[in-house]
Amino acid sequence: MTQLRVRYLGLQPYEPSLQAMQDFTDSRDAETVDEIWLLQHEPVFTQGQAGKDEHLLQQTHIPIIKTDRGGQVTYHGPGQLIAYMLIDLKRLGIGVRQLVTLMEEAIIDTLAQWQVTAYGKPDAPGVYVDKAKIASLGLRVRKGCSFHGLALNVDMDLEPFLTINPCGYAGLDMVQLADFADQPTVATVSEQLLHHLTKKLGYTKVEIEA
């Protein structure tokens, strides 16, 4: 039996969430139950390990935080669904590339429930609609366990993306589900995404914590 604990964390500042993920991963052992954290973040730019300052196009009042996930710079804010994937990859028998693919497929299947056709790119992790990016992925693996995860734009202020090269790509357009569907909510999309993630990862017992 593969067990999963899901935590709904609401709106959170970024830095305490980062610390909590790191602490969870550092302290877990072979018996620790995998977790998925579903939340939104207060406005923040995060710069991954490969992040270059040249991708920050102008200064704003929004804080910039360097973090230990893969990838370049992105923006998080209210109305964007975050799913942090605290997964023992060894126990599930998957690699990081397979986890990325499963996350992308779960997002694509979620968007299909809103009649939105989306796709992934082999050379640029994330999910796209009509050449514009709707979801970003960034992971870190430590001791065979993943943390960080995905960010799906649901119904948010996209303007801060204009002040960066999102994920290091100049001129990359960012879109959100609300551009294509009628009044999507983070709560509804969270339930749909969770269903697809747990199914694809093969969890047989799911415990929910509000």
- Positions annotated as catalytic residues are 167
Q: Determine the 3-state secondary structure of 177 from DSSP.
A: helix
Hey, CA dihedral for 21, 137, 159, 176, is it positive or negative? negative
Query: Alpha-carbon distance 84 to 36, whole Å?
Result: 6
In whole angstroms, give the CA distance from residue 94 to residue 103: 13
What are the φ and ψ backbone dihedral angles of 196, each rounded to 5 degrees?
A: -70, -40
Number of H helices, E strands in the chain: 4, 11
Q: Which pair of tokens denotes residue 69? A: 């996930």
Compute the distance between CA of residue 201 and CA of residue 135 in angstroms, rounded to an integer.
Answer: 19
- Give the phi and the psi of residue 104 in degrees, each rounded to 5: -60, -45
